[in-house]
Chain A
Amino acid sequence: MLQRLSLVLIFAIAAVVAAALALGAYLNYGSVRAAYLGQVESRLLAIGKGIVDDIETSISFGIPIAGQETLDPLLARERAADPVLFAIDVMDREGEILHSSDPARVGQVLPLLDAGELQVDLAIINSFGSEAGSVRFIADTSILEHNLDSTASTVRAAAIYALIGAMALALLAVLIMLSSAKRRAAEAGQMAAGEGEDGHGWAFSQVSEEHDRVAGRLNELEAKGEK
């Protein structure tokens, strides 16, 4: 029965500790991931701002976006300089790609990416304050995930080690607790039998002594009464 309790305890503890560690590890990883993607996004915004400034300056000189021929080599250079980038597109208001780091993408109208994929959009504003188009940075998610792999495996390994360590210590705690419980059960048995009442059973001996004293007194009174 005791073995069964130990097993049930260990099983319950393992389930709770594993769930807590899994959620804790996931939160840690998720937080690092969000911070990393935020950093990448913020860097892409910084690069994009420079490109948008160049395009807006050209527009103010009367050169439409479609006519800014120097953009294609600039986008290709920026894309080549940053391994995280998959493509940089410059689009008109309708979303048609006019210039791109990848010439094959020019002329396409691309849909929005799925949630979870990283893209950064910056509006191009003309001299009249209206939107003339936009610049879109698309990050290569496979590279981002690859960069995050080492964090994922570090956190996973830490969670596994922590689980093993916690389980070993929990097992030890359960065994110590149960062995102490067994010892105390034996002591309780002795206490119930009227032995070893000096320690925890002080109340038993005190009550028994007082009962004996009162009983002795009543015996004497009753004996006197009978006489």
Chain B
Amino acid sequence: MRRLDLALLAVLALLLVGALVFVSWRALDSAERLLLPELNRKAEVVGESISGLFEEAIDYGIPLKDVVGADEVLREALAESSEFASIAVRMEGGSELASVERAGAGSLRSPIIVKTAIKQGEEVVAEVVIAIPPAVVARTIRNIWLDVAIVLLASILVTFEMLALVFSSDVGRALRGLGQRLVAINRGDLRAHTPVESKGIFGQASDDLDHRLSSLAKRQRELEGRATAARDTEAGVALQQLEAKHHLLGKRDQPPPKLAAIRAPLFLFFFAEELTRPFLPSYIASLASPLPWLSRELVISLPIVLFMAIVAILLLFLNDLTERVGRGRSLRAGAVIAVIGFAGSAYVTDLLQLMFFRGLTAVGYALVFVSAQGAIIDGTERRNRARGLSILVGAIFVAALCGPPVGGILADRLGERETFLVSAVLALLAIVTARFAMPHQARPRGITGGARPNLATFLRVISKPPLALLLFGCALPAKLILAALIFYLVPLSMADSGFDQASIGRVLTLYALAMLPLVPLVSRFSDRSGYRPGFVLVGAALSASAIIHPLIWAEPWGEAAMVLQLGVAQALSITPQSALVGELGRRYLPDVPEGMVYGVFRFVERSGNAIGPLIAAWLLGAYGLDVALIAVGAISLIGALLYLAAWTVGREGRSLPGSEGAR
């Protein structure tokens, strides 16, 4: 029963792979029956066209062997028909008059041959021979396998999220809780677990194990007291060794099991928004009419900038409201607003309408985000808050991983408006699952992240150079370059170059693909090494240099390499940067609550999200793509250099912006 849900997920993943491979195999089989005759017909048409030219020459009295330019005619025909391997004109008797073939055509095994006669009167004097590779059908539809693989990956991730929801039910929680206990006990880890609060055989078994763990802890405590009283060093050492090995007096810092249920609605909601990522700029472009005082590029950026600005501002103010109204109810209200926003975006006829509905979606997004964050903070304590918040971060990452490629596929196959409707349906499902996941009102405890920063706090924070340089030199440029490239420049420039939405989505997903495995690794390593400024600086330098790729590689490889490097770069800097803010806040502003310092940090960071597309759009319209890329890279680099300079000066003067962690 070791991690039952993961075992079940593995089985389901295998079943999905098998089922989708079976469907693809049957589709390929059927495609061959449909496409091969069609290819034959095309070969006949091309063959007749070529034979007609030769027959015309014969009619003019030119002997076949004297026809000039035959190779040129065949080469042109082969270039126009990418499915054919070779075209030849063969005389009666077998000698070749002219022949052209693609590279590797000579090694083809059992090609499909289509012959068309060249006649002089009624007599066949030669024939046009066209060879078709037998694997042409598989090659023709092989692009689909990449799409199917993406659907498979997304399905597995969705299954994982749905299983998380199922396992957050009463009995599911007990089952998972029992599994976790058995795994831990088998490892020799005898720390206390968060109670599963469930009845039934699994709940009972978990309670029994908890009782046993608690009685062992009680006995350990009692014996420690007796050993101290008796001044028995040997017994004391034995008990210490036992504690070091089995952590009898420790408590696992898991978030309450019920809290895990919130992940499914969050995933569905963020997935809905991420679906729009690859096609949003081109959708806006299709609605944008030129304005005399704004470039087309700037007009396209407006709905994106509006969305980001609304989210950045509302995140500051919504916490109190969601606490008063109730986290669950606010989350559902946010999702309802977003449903209206997504559905409205599908039916808009001009840019103003789109901006209105994207604005609504932004309000919903901010409400959902703040409600979820608040619910997690309400439901956790300081010791397990980071683990709790990882539920929110995990949902966002997984959504960012599968949203863009699936959104791209849907936009290509169904259309952009229809994909907005799919987003609306997903947000609707988020409401339904939120009803199950957050049925009871979390009790407000007044300890939420509600320390809202005001102007005075903002000014105090930015008056401290180490904090100001970290915020404006690293945090803001990091989000600026992210939003400029991922939300705006990459999808727009690739769409302008004729790439389909599925390809754009596949490129965008590389960002989350790099982040997902690296963030926890970097987080652990930077915590252990304490060398946080180094991670932030390397991350910023990598972000800035990522823009080189599209300047030296052809599309889409340059864009893909840039997005991948940006993902690696942000994974390196994101958690160390966040931890540094707390450290610097405690050091330079000990009287300001940490929540307020983080509030300023999040606001500055998210302002970068809004500014990024705006700057990119202005530069793109005024100076072109290369300059836009170089400029956003330069902003990131200058910010990092300023922070590096301050860090170096600070280290020499023993006043390091963040260097207290570098020990």
Closest to A25 in B: B23
Q: List 19 A-B contacts (CB under 8 A).
A: A1-B170, A9-B8, A13-B159, A20-B154, A20-B158, A20-B159, A24-B20, A29-B27, A36-B31, A36-B35, A36-B38, A40-B38, A43-B38, A49-B49, A158-B23, A189-B204, A201-B185, A204-B185, A225-B230
B16 lies within 8 A of A151 (CB):
no
Chain A hits for B45, CB < 8 A? 43, 46-47
Q: B148: which A residues are within 8 A, CB to CB?
A: 24, 27-28
A-B interface contact total, Cβ < 8 Å: 271
User: Are B227 and A28 closer than 8 Å at their CB atoms?
Assistant: no
Q: Which residues of chain A from 14 to 39 have any CB-CB distance to chain B below 8 Å in the complex?
A: 15-17, 19-21, 23-32, 35-36, 38-39
Q: Are A203's CB and B188's CB within 8 A?
A: yes
Residue of A nearest to B181 (CB): A188
- Kindly state whether residue A217 has any CB partner on chain B within 8 Å: yes
- Contact between chains at A42 and B81 (CB < 8 Å): yes
CA distance A8 to B187 in the complex (A): 31
B135 within 8 A of A: no
Structural contact, A214 and B34, CB atoms closer than 8 A: no
Given contact pairs A4-B171, A23-B155, A181-B1, enumerate 5 new A-B contacts (beta carbons under 8 Å).
Answer: A20-B20, A211-B223, A218-B227, A221-B232, A222-B230
Q: Please tell me if the beta carbons of B27 and A32 are within 8 angstroms of each other in the complex.
A: yes
Residue of B nearest to A176 (CB): B11
- Report the Cα distance A32→B357, complex, angstroms: 36
CA distance A31 to B144 in the complex (A): 6
B192-212 Cβ-contact flags toward A at 8 Å (1 or 0):
000000011110111011011
CB < 8 Å neighbour of A20 from B4, B143, B155, B166: B155
Q: Which B residues are closer than 8 A to A by beta carbons?
A: 1, 4, 7-8, 11-12, 15-16, 18-20, 22-27, 29-31, 33-35, 38-39, 41-42, 45-46, 49, 52, 80-81, 83, 137, 140-141, 143-144, 147-148, 151-152, 154-155, 158-159, 162-163, 165-166, 169-172, 175, 178-179, 181-182, 185-190, 199-202, 204-206, 208-209, 211-212, 216, 219-220, 223, 226-227, 230, 232, 234-235, 238-239, 242, 246, 248, 409, 413
A192 — nearest CB in chain B belongs to which residue?
B208
Q: Tell me the residues in window 81-102 of chain A with beta carbons closer than 8 Å to chain B beta carbons.
A: none
Decide if A159 touches B23 in the complex (CB within 8 Å). yes
The reply to whether A17 and B12 contact each other, CB–CB distance below 8 Å, is: yes
Q: By CB atoms of chain B within 10 A, which of A27, A46, A162, A186 has the most? A: A27
Judging by beta carbons under 8 Å apart, are B15 and A17 in contact? yes
A16 touches B159 (CB 8 A): yes
Please determine whether B182 and A21 come into contact, CB atoms closer than 8 angstroms. no
With A151-B27, A192-B205 known as contacts, the answer to whether A218 contacts B165 (CB < 8 A) is no
Q: Are A150 and B30 in touch, CB under 8 angstroms?
A: yes
Q: A52 vs B181: C-alpha distance in the bound complex, in angstroms? A: 78
Tell me if B230 and A20 are in contact (CB < 8 A). no
The interface residues of chain A lying within 8 Å CB-to-CB of B165 are 12
Give the residues in chain B near A206, CB-CB below 8 Å. 188, 246
Flag if B19 contacts A177 (CB, 8 Å). no
B52 near A50: Cβ-Cβ < 8 Å: yes
The interface residues of chain A lying within 8 Å CB-to-CB of B30 are 32, 150-151, 154-155
Shortest B170–chain A CB gap in Å is 7
Partner among A24, A174, A221 whose Cβ is within 8 Å of the Cβ of B152: A24
- Among A27, A162, A173, A211, contact of B413 (Cβ-Cβ < 8 Å): A27
A143 at the interface (CB under 8 A from B): no
Cα of A157 to Cα of B41 in the assembled complex, Å: 28
Q: CB distance A35 to B141 under 8 Å?
A: yes
Least CB distance, A175 to chain B, in whole angstroms? 11
Is A104 positioned at the interface, with any CB of B under 8 Å from its CB? Answer: no
Bound complex: CA of A162 vs CA of B18, how far in Å? 8
The answer to whether B49 and A184 have CB atoms under 8 Å apart is: no
Is B16's CB under 8 angstroms from A192's CB? no
Closest to B412 in A: A30
List, in ascending order, chain A residues with CB within 8 A of B147's CB. Answer: 27, 31
Q: Which of B29, B205, B208 meets A154, CB within 8 Å?
A: B29
Contact A12 B202 (CB under 8 A): no
Cβ-neighbour of B209 out of A5, A148, A174, A192 (below 8 A): A192
Closest Cβ–Cβ distance, residue B400 to chain A (whole Å)? 19
CA distance A40 to B158 in the complex (A): 38
Q: Is residue A182 contacting chain B, with contact meaning CB distance below 8 A?
A: yes
Instruction: Establish whether residues A21 and B20, one from each chain, have CB atoms under 8 Å apart when the complex forms.
Output: yes
Q: Tell which of A19, A42, A188 touches B42, judged by Cβ atoms closer than 8 Å.
A: A42
